[in-house]
């Protein structure tokens, strides 16, 4: 099977709470298929996770908001020689949707995506999740560092305890307390009727943070019949599906999907 030439660039977009170092194996995987790759950290997060945790509470990271992170990625894309393929996880999935809406990507893959604010639904557990991982009743000038128990429940459910601990220590970083609430502002909304480049939504059946049903609802909201919008659910995958043992199965599915739309 032939893959895209190395003229194509993939930009990996990290979600909230997680270090950009999570894409290490994905970078190798897609570069071996002829892609160029970039995986920029969010503003003020270009340090190893352990180092960033030592800076908590981090006043600079605390200033990150949806609009500032979005503008940051737009600035990076503007400097690239072409519109990249965007692969975003969780909050990075929302950023992918917003960047595709602004016609800044040639295709978008949204993994376990945080839904836009105008995806109305009656699963109130998601709104509880937002509040539970924002710590909004304390100082907004300080970062939020997710406790291990919440990481176990929301991010690494179904993993063995040793894997949960390893992923927590390897990838967890401090986060802005307001970034999750920003999805409900105007900046976090999608025009689902607008024509767009191909989008693929990927969910995990064991995801607690953004359940598969919520990812499917996000996918179904797109109404432009002249645009490609696809959905795939992977069985027994949690919110960290992209670093679970079967991550390569998901990566291969994405690679095959990309060959079909180009």
Give me the pLDDT at residue 124, please.
79
Residue 2 has pLDDT above 70, yes or no: no
If you average pLDDT over residues 160-172, what whole number do you get?
98
Residues 6+ apart with CB under 8 A from 102: 74
* Contact (CB, 8 A) for 246 and 159: no
Give me the pLDDT at residue 6, please.
47
Give me the pLDDT at residue 262, please.
77
* % of the chain with per-residue pLDDT over 90: 91
Mean pLDDT score of the chain, rounded to an integer? Answer: 94
Q: How confident is the model at residue 7 (pLDDT cuts 50, 70, 90)?
A: low
Give me the pLDDT at residue 235, please.
95
* Contact (CB, 8 A) for 96 and 202: no
Give me the pLDDT at residue 5, please.
47
pLDDT in tens, 52-88: 999 999 999 999 999 999 999 999 999 999 999 999 9
If you average pLDDT over residues 86-96, what whole number do you get?
98
Give me the pLDDT at residue 136, please.
82
> What is d(CA 127, CA 235) in angstroms, rounded to the nearest whole number?
24
How many other CB atoms are found less than 10 A from the CB of residue 158?
17
Q: By three-state DSSP, how is residue 110 classified? A: strand
DSSP string, 137-154: TS-TTS-B---HHHIIII
Looking at the chain, which runs of residues are DSSP E strands? 9-13, 36-38, 85-89, 107-111, 199-204, 229-234
Q: Which of 165, 175, 185 is nearest to 16 (CA)?
A: 175
Residues 6+ apart with CB under 8 A from 32: none
pLDDT in tens, 199-218: 999 999 999 999 999 999 99
Question: Cα Rg for the chain, rounded, in angstroms?
Answer: 17
* Contact (CB, 8 A) for 45 and 69: no
Phi and psi of 206, rounded to 5°?
Answer: -105, 15
If you average pLDDT over residues 162-174, what whole number do you get?
98
Q: Give the predicted TM-score (pTM) of the model.
A: 0.95
């Amino acid at each position: 099977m032939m893959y895209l030439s190395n003229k194509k660039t993939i930009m990996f977009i990290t979600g909230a709470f997680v270090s950009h170092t999570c894409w290490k194996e994905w970078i190798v995987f897609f570069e071996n298929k002829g892609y160029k790759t970039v995986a920029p950290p969010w503003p003020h997060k270009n340090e190893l996770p352990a180092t960033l945790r030592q800076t908590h509470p981090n006043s600079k990271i605390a200033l990150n908001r949806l609009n500032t992170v979005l503008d940051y990625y737009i600035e990076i894309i503007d400097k690239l020689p072409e519109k990249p393929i965007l692969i975003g996880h969780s909050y990075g999935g929302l950023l992918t949707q917003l960047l595709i809406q602004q016609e800044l990507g040639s295709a978008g893959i949204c993994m376990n995506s945080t839904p836009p604010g105008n995806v109305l639904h009656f699963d109130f557990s998601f709104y509880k999740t937002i509040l539970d991982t924002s710590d909004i009743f304390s100082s907004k000038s300080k970062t939020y560092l997710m406790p291990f128990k919440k990481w176990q429940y929301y991010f690494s459910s179904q993993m063995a305890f040793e894997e949960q601990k390893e992923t927590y220590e390897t990838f967890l970083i401090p986060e802005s307390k307001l970034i999750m609430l920003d999805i409900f502002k105007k900046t976090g909304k999608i025009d689902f009727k607008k024509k767009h480049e191909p989008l693929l939504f990927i969910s995990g059946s064991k995801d607690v943070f953004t359940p598969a049903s919520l990812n499917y609802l996000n996918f179904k909201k797109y109404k432009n019949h002249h645009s490609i919008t696809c959905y795939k659910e992977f069985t027994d995958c949690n919110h960290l599906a992209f670093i679970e043992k079967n991550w390569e199965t998901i990566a291969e599915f994405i690679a095959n999907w990309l060959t079909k739309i180009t």
